[in-house]
Structure 1
Amino acid sequence: MVTAYLSAYLFWRSADSLNTVLIAALAILAINPLQLYDVGFQLSFMAVLSIILVVPVLQHHVLDWLSPERFDERIGGAPAVYITMRAAQCIVGAVMLSIVVGLGTWPLTATYFNYISLVSPIANALTAILVILLTITGIISMAVSAYIPAAGQALAAPAAFIMNCMTGVVTSLGGHHWSITAVKSPPAFTVVAYFIILIGVLEFAYRKTAPKS
C-alpha cells in the first residue's frame, strides 16, 4: 500500500487513499488470485477501507468538536486548554479508530473465528497510544546508542516499561470470560445486508457533511 501511495508522487499526482488501497489489492491478486480467500488479506483490507471511508465522517463530527481552536475562541487561548484538548483528541481518536475497524471487520471475525471481542475497542485504543510512545522512545534510544551505547541502553528502559504496560493491558482486559462472546457464523445474506446498510449510512453522512455550493 505504501508503494502504491508513494508512486503517485512520481507522476506528479496527489495520492488518493482509496485508489491506493484498491491498486495494492489488485497488485496482490494479480500475483496470487487465491489471496482473495485468505483471512489475513480480507481482514487487512477491510480494516484499512473502514478507516479510509468512516473516519473522515466521524472526524468532522467528533474530532473537530474537540479542536483546541474551537475552545480558544471561548476561553482565550490558554496553553492548558490547548494541551488538554489535544490530549482529548488523541484519546478519542484512538478509541474511534478502534471502533471503526471493529465495525468493518466483525462480520469476518464472526464468520471465520466464531467470536466477537467485547474489549477490543478499549484494548486497541490503549495499545495504540502506547505504541506511539514506544516508537518515540525506541527511535531516541537507537539514535543515541549509535554514538553512546551505554546511554542508548539506559534510554531503552522506558521502551521496555511501555512494552510491559502494553502486555499488561492486553492480559488484564483479555483474561476475563466476558472479554469475548461466542457467536455462530452469520449467514451470507446477513453480512451482505449489513455492508449495504453501512454503505447507505456512509453515503447519507457524506452528503450531510459535504460543503454546500
Structure 2
Amino acid sequence: MSGAGPVEPGEGTHAWETPDGPRPSARPRGPLARRYDRHRRAVHSALAALVVLAGGGYLYATRPQPERPPATPPPYPSQVVDITYLEPVPSPGNAPTSSFSFAVLLSVESGPSVTVTRIAQPYPGLSVTSAPAAPFQTKADSARKITITMRVTECGKAPWNAGLPFLDVTLRNTRAIQVHSFILGQRYAQHLSDALQVACSNDSA
C-alpha cells in the first residue's frame, strides 16, 4: 500500500485544548450573588451621583454672570451748592475807601466736597475779593461764611441801580467744573446800589 494519510491517534492519546480566549469567571450564586448585586448597584449609584454633581458644578461655574449696574456718578456741584446773602459787614482795614463788603453763606447739601476756585461779578467797573480767598473747599452737609469785598474801579461802569445783580462762582468737585451765577435777591441789590452811590458820590474812584 502506497501513499500517506492522516495519522490516527494511538490508543490512550488525546489532543491539547487551545481555547481562543479566557474563560468567563463563574458568577456567584445564592446569598453571595445578592450581596454582589447590591454592592454593584450602590457603586453605580454613587458614580452617577458624582457625575451629576460634577456636571452641576461646571454649569454653575460657567453660568453667565449678571451685569452690574453702573455706579451712580456724584452730583454736579451747582446742584448741591447754595449761596445766601446775609448782610453788609465792615470792610477789611486795608481796603480802599471805595470798597464795601457783605457776607454770604455758602452751603453744600450732599456729595463730595466742593471747591470754590473763583468768585467774580459781571460789572466791569467793580473788582471782587473774598475772605477766605479762593480756592477754598467746603464739605458736604456743612456751610461756610464768606466775606465779599467789592472795590469800585470805575464809577462810570458801575451799576448805579442794579436790578438783579449776581455773583459768578466757579465750582469744582469730582464730577465737574462749573461756572454758576447766583442771584442774591432784592436785599443784596438794594445794599449794592446804596454802597455804589456812597463810593461814587464824590467821584473819588
Q: What TM-score do the two structures reach when normalised by structure 1?
A: 0.21
Q: Name the structure with the higher helix share.
A: 1
Q: TM-score, normalised by structure 2?
A: 0.22
Give the strand-richer structure, 1 or 2: 2
